[in-house]
Amino acid sequence: MSKISNFVGVSARKNVEAAIAKAHANESFHALLSLTETRALERADAVDRGEISGKLAGVPFVAKDNFLTLGGTTTAASKFLENFAAPLQATAIEKLEAEGAICIGKANLDAFAHGGSTENSAFGPTKHAFDQERVAGGSSGGSAVAVALGIVPFALGTDTGGSIRQPASFNGVVGVKPTYGTVSRYGVVAMASSTDTIGVLASCTDDAALVMSIISGKDTKDMTTLPDFFVPTKLDEKKSIGVIKEAMTDDVDPEVRRVTNEYVEKLRTDGHEVEEVSLSLLKYALAIYYIVVPAEISSNLGRYDGIRYGKRAEANRLREVYGSSRDQGFMTENKRRIMIGSYVLSSGFFDAYYLQAQKVRTLLINEFNALLTTFDVLITPVAPTPAFILGENTNDPIKMYLSDVMTVPASLAGLPAISVPAGKNEQGLPIGVQLIGKRRDDALLLALAKRIEEEV
Ligand code: GLN
């Protein structure tokens, strides 16, 4: 059931006031880092006066706090950008505003989107929407919880290795990581440029498809963007679907496997052909990701030097300004990735790590492409477990990284992948299933999920 439609054609001011009141009532979850109340109410009044119209006129939303927005700060959940007021807005925000949508606040994340639990936020973690002892997932944890709690009908997130899909799965909402290049990255804090994507979290596939159709498209400010292709579709034909067996081993939580199998059965009952398939290189995906992505991070985060914008440490010499600003501005996980990235790119190690990882990445892409000539859609769980307990993985980065094992493959290959609610475990924690498609088949994935959405 579309939640967005409830907000269209009614008082925009009431919509915004209700969303802000809900945000305040749910402060204990720490889903939002800031509200942009003044600007939101001004825009709402302009909608109500008929000065702004469009498909999302008066619909409130939140953006992950790594999207540049006007009317408040953009912190990337880091001390570095704690007081940073952006001089411009991300293209995705501009496109939503052009259709009348109203950004009411900024959602919490792992600092610079490095993480899978939102515990790396410099301002404290977001709590899971249905169990405050647990993590929200991440790094778009605030966006997922804001949608799951009904503060807003949709939220923007970013997904570099699973950051939309995994928190969507943990909190029982739909999450879309589109084909690489679908949505402009202009005005979004860069993490790893070869896998950074922008997408949406919403409470149903129709709402997600509507928002995707608005934010996607060519942008001259991001040369990697593709021409418009995201048109919401309805699925009438039967599809051939492959369930990746390496993602269904004993290492995966039994309840996650049960829910995935039940979802697959529903697809079979709907008439689709389902087969077990092998993605033999899945086992290398995490290793590739945690070499390539830190390498790109170490380069992208070089711009935070304490000089141009953001935090500047007091020091007498230039080198000390750089060093101390970076020391004070970055979180431990940011520093770990910068160090790993600098190491794998340094002369002497470049060939052994970075180059080797890129070669295996190509093999992974080829294996995906071969599978996707036979199958329309591939299925895996989104994460090996449901939402874990706060603090459970914080002292063990490898354990934390393992949560990304199912989501990083599609990121490395630039393929569209969505997370859809599929069921719950015995304790009532939501569990999502991941559908991966061919490049530009984003709308088809949502249409396929919609066929059995009502039953979930
Ligand atoms: N959890 C993954 C990581 O830590 C994904 C992060 C993301 O997609 N931004 O890198």
Give the pLDDT band of residue 455 (cuts 50, 70, 90). Answer: very low
Give residue 89's pLDDT: 98
Residue 24 forms part of a structural domain: yes
d(CA 262, CA 62): 33
Distance from the alpha carbon of residue 164 to the mean position of ligand 1, in angstroms: 9
Report the pLDDT averaged over residues 326-348: 97
Let me know if residue 39 belongs to a domain. Answer: yes
**CB of 338 within 8 A of CB of 298?**
yes
Domain that holds residue 203: 4-215
- Which pLDDT does position 354 carry in this prediction? 98
Cis bond upstream, residue 139 (ω within 30): yes
Tell me, yes or no, whether 230 lies in a domain: no
Q: Give the per-residue pLDDT at 454.
A: 66
Per residue in 413-453, pLDDT (tens digit) is: 999 999 999 999 999 999 999 999 999 999 999 999 999 99
Exposure b/e, 271-294, CB count within 10 A at least 16 = b: ebebeebebebbebbbebbbbbbb
pLDDT at 153 over 70: yes
Residue 165 has pLDDT above 90, yes or no: yes
**Cα separation, 227 vs 71, whole angstroms:** 30
Phi, psi of 61 (to 5 degrees): -150, 170
Question: Ligand 1 centroid vs 197 CA: distance in angstroms?
Answer: 11
Residue 47 lies in a domain: yes
Name the residue of 66, 78, 160, 292 whose CB sits within 8 Å of the most ligand 1 atoms, as the mutation to test its pocket. Answer: 160
Percent of the chain at pLDDT > 70 equals 99
> To which H or E segment does residue 245 belong?
none
DSSP 174-243: EEEE-STTSB--TTB--S-TTT-EEEEEESSHHHHHHHHHHHBS-BTTBTTPPPS--------S--EEEE
Residue 293 CA: nearest ligand 1 atom is 10
CATH assignment at residue 60: 3.90.1300.10
State the closest ligand 1 atom to the C-alpha of 411, by its place in the atom list counted from 1.
Answer: 8
Pocket test for ligand 1, best of 66, 78, 110 (most atoms within 8 A of CB): 110
pLDDT value of residue 309: 83
Average pLDDT of span 8-18: 97
Amino acid in position 395: N
Expressed in angstroms and rounded, the spacing between residue 290 Cα and the centre of ligand 1 is 10
The answer to whether position 339 is within a domain reads: no
- Answer whether residue 18 is part of any domain: yes
Residues 139, 118: contact at Cβ < 8 Å?
Answer: yes
- Ligand 1 atom 3: residue of nearest CA: 115
Q: Chain-wide mean pLDDT for the chain?
A: 97
Q: Indicate whether 306 belongs to any domain.
A: no
Whether the CB-CB separation of 221 and 91 falls below 8 Å is answered with yes
Q: What is the mean pLDDT of residues 398-408?
A: 96
Atom of ligand 1 nearest to the CA of 162: 8
* Residues identified as active-site: 64, 139, 163
pTM over 0.75: yes
Number of domains in the chain: 1
Please name the residue whose Cα sits nearest to atom 1 of ligand 1: 116
User: Residue 282 is which amino acid?
Assistant: L
Convert the pLDDT of each residue in 40-76 to its tens digit: 999 999 999 999 999 999 999 999 999 999 999 999 9
Residue 106 has pLDDT above 50, yes or no: yes
- Residue partners of 148: CB distance under 8 A and separation at least 6: 129, 130, 171, 172, 173, 203
Name the pLDDT band for 311 (thresholds 50, 70, 90): confident
Amino acid present at 51: E
CA 137 – ligand 1 centroid, Å? 10
Pocket of ligand 1 (CB under 6 A): 113-116, 139, 158-163, 191, 293, 404
386 located within any domain: no
